[in-house]
Amino acid sequence: MLFQLQGTDVHLLGSYHFGRGTVSLPPTAARAIAEAKLIAWESSEAAAGPAFKAAFRRGASLAACLDDKLLARVHSVAEDVGADVEDVDRADPWLAALLLFIPLALNAGYSVEEGVDAAVRKIARDARVKDYFLEMPSDGLDAFARAPLEEQVAGLRLLVESPAHQLERIDRIASAWRTADLAGIESALDQALSEMPVTYDNLIHGRNLQWLPKIRVLLAKRKKVVVCVGALHLVGRFGLPSLLEQDGIKVTFVPD
């Protein structure tokens, strides 16, 4: 899932962070990565852990946000997936959902090692391509935290009442990515927006707008650059290709 900013050596590469099964990058994408001077990532993987720990809000109490039935279900899922129940109880609903989703995905056989990011990192590391970051890890977490409490609770409820639904979204995106099915990826985004509109508007549209100035800086460097971000950031009217074209920068899809 590769795009090129016309008249430049800058590419946009769609990714998915968690995967299940071997990832094979198309030759066009692998070549663009190996020849790049910079890989622009969403944020630093090394800084993600500290940002996650810092996301616990002093005085937060999950019990204060949920009814007894939902809280009991959250505790049951936490125990089933091996999450720390005490951590879950002192988290806001959005953070509790992440604390449950990560082990849920890992237990189901998904891993970051089988995501697209890992495959890109291997090629970039072998070619000694330098890293560049579009944001701090806390920026992505803030996109969840700024959603209304009612939507945070609704998202947590959806996760614990239908965990398979969330995992199916990963599979849908991965399947569409493998066949460069942009419509399929946009459909997955539309579904996410229908379920959690503010959260996903923050995550996708809001962050895309924040990244645009940095992408313009990369364009000005006139170097070979690959911007590697989640595939959902590259589709729809608020996707990076559309936003860049609104700025007068022609973006073309690069076939495999």
Structure tokens at 210: 């924040």
* Separation CA 169–CA 60 (nearest Å): 29
Number of domains in the chain: 1
pLDDT (tens place) for every residue of the chain, 256 residues total:
899 998 899 999 999 988 888 888 999 999 999 999 999 999 877 777 777 777 887 888 899 999 999 999 999 999 999 999 999 999 999 999 999 999 999 999 998 888 899 999 999 999 999 999 999 888 888 999 999 999 999 999 999 999 888 888 889 899 999 899 999 999 999 999 999 999 999 999 999 999 999 999 998 888 899 999 999 999 999 999 999 999 899 999 998 7
Sheet holding 10-15: strands in order across?
130-133, 38-41, 225-230, 10-15, 2-5, 251-254
Structure tokens at 129: 């391509």
- Alpha-carbon distances, residue 172 vs 69, 108, 129, 159, 184 (angstroms): 31, 15, 30, 17, 8
**Which residue pairs, CB below 8 angstroms and at least 24 apart, start in 185-194?**
185/1, 185/14, 185/231, 185/232, 185/234, 185/235, 186/235, 186/236, 188/232, 189/232, 189/235, 189/236, 190/236, 192/232
The residue among 3, 44, 31 whose CA lies nearest residue 124 is: 31
Domain holding 159, by residue range, is 2-254
The secondary structure of residue 63, as a DSSP letter, is G
* Separation CA 245–CA 249 (nearest Å): 5
Could you tell me the pTM of the whole model? 0.91
In degrees, to the nearest 5, what angle opens at C-alpha 39 toward C-alphas 232 and 32? 85
Residue 240: what pLDDT? 96
Name the 3-class secondary structure at 227.
strand
List residues bridging with 39 in a β-sheet.
131, 226
* Separation CA 121–CA 228 (nearest Å): 10
Residue 161: what pLDDT? 93
Residue 255: what pLDDT? 85
**Phi then psi dihedrals of residue 53, to 5 deg:** -65, -35
H/E segment holding residue 225: strand 225-230
The residue among 21, 22, 23, 127 whose CA lies nearest residue 13 is: 23
